[in-house]
Chains A and B, each alone.
Chain A
């Protein structure tokens, strides 16, 4: 394997790992707000790492630049979407889950 291939494999593996973490988080965490944490952060990094692998695979300058633009848009849109969801929930009066709700021991 060439160094580029190794980098691609590592990036895709790490990206997949964080995407899985996001999925696990959405299932395990107790309420909407905490789940949004997992969905917004881990998912962003997962996508960023995978797009990094894409940029290396194609190698060509323009593709790399376009991928960087994609990354930028993800950085802007992902937190905005997370904020919209959390704000909507907050406006609806959904109370955040706290450690006291289950005696400090989430299921």
Chain B
């Protein structure tokens, strides 16, 4: 690569407490290296997009990412020592056209960017969390080093982990998990109002909350929307059960038919659902219903294995997708066009 005559460093950025120091460190490293070799340096700050291309709040998130990059650029320019080697600063948003999901997705777009710009060194912010609360930094670093890039974690001071166990913003998160586990415990115990049951239930729910609250909910839940979602979920379950029953009769017919009339194929479609819960619900519902099986949800697309032709048609008809949108976003969202119509309109647009 072109690193011989120029120092080029890639820094993936996102909201983090140590971002400021990481920027300083990256600039320092670039400038030292460039000064030593008597060349100039470029530091690329890259923001991997964590939104889906069809998400409604996309523009807003784009703007936030742009603001962050602007801030980073200003910091970086502040850090450049004027009397040493020249350091240029570049910023970019990558992966906005796809849904980055797993560490390997992030590693891939970063690697593509690195190759495109001839970068061979990566400085990673130790507090960088592309996957929200899901720990992703370690696997991401591993994936990146697998591609042959030189990966280094910025040795910056990390703030002590938050001393208070419950921050104000995550209180509702804890309460929801606590309430759900306490209720579950009491139901299993037969709703007895025995003091013993109430006490052990509170203790168990407390342990579950402390250990799992951060894992089971990604962020503070939107309490205002929860009852509506639960009510619509109650409508969705019978519908899903009916679909499952139909699915099984269809599969039983196909499996027991002497000629085994199957026509399997792998389909991909871009689902118009956003966020972990809706995507998981849709993926699982697809797997449970007529002859379709979710194979992969990485990037912005669902890869679906369809067993028969009619199951394929049902999938593109989008009834399930609409139902899932109805559950999570209410009636207005159910009116988004079906996958088939979206595909058709995109093809028209390309012609």
Contact = CB atoms under 8 A, between A and B. Distances in A.
Interface string A57-84: 0000010011001000001101110110
B283 to A, nearest CB: 6
Given A33-B293, A34-B262, A37-B291, A83 B244 contact: no
B216 interface: no
Interface string A29-46: 111011011101110110
B15 interface: no
Interface in B247-276: 247-248, 251-252, 255-256, 259-260, 262-266
B255 A42 contact: yes
B62 interface: no
Nearest to B263: A99
Interface residues of B, number: 34
Interface string A74-107: 0110111011001101110000111100000110
B252 A42 contact: yes
Contact of A83 (B251, B262, B295): B295
B5 to A, nearest CB: 39
Interface string A19-31: 0010011001111
A41 B262 contact: no
B287 A38 contact: no
B256 A41 contact: no
A41 B264 contact: no
Given A45-B248, A62-B190, A24 B263 contact: no
Interface string B276-319: 00000001110110010111100000010101000000000000
14 contacts: A21-B251, A34-B305, A36-B293, A37-B291, A42-B251, A42-B255, A44-B244, A69-B188, A78-B287, A86-B294, A86-B305, A87-B295, A91-B296, A96-B265
Interface of A: 17-18, 21, 24-25, 28-31, 33-34, 36-38, 40-42, 44-45, 48, 62, 65-66, 69, 75-76, 78-80, 82-83, 86-87, 89-91, 96-99, 105-106
Q: Which 6 A-B pairs have the closest CB atoms?
A: A79-B287, A25-B255, A79-B284, A45-B248, A86-B295, A62-B190
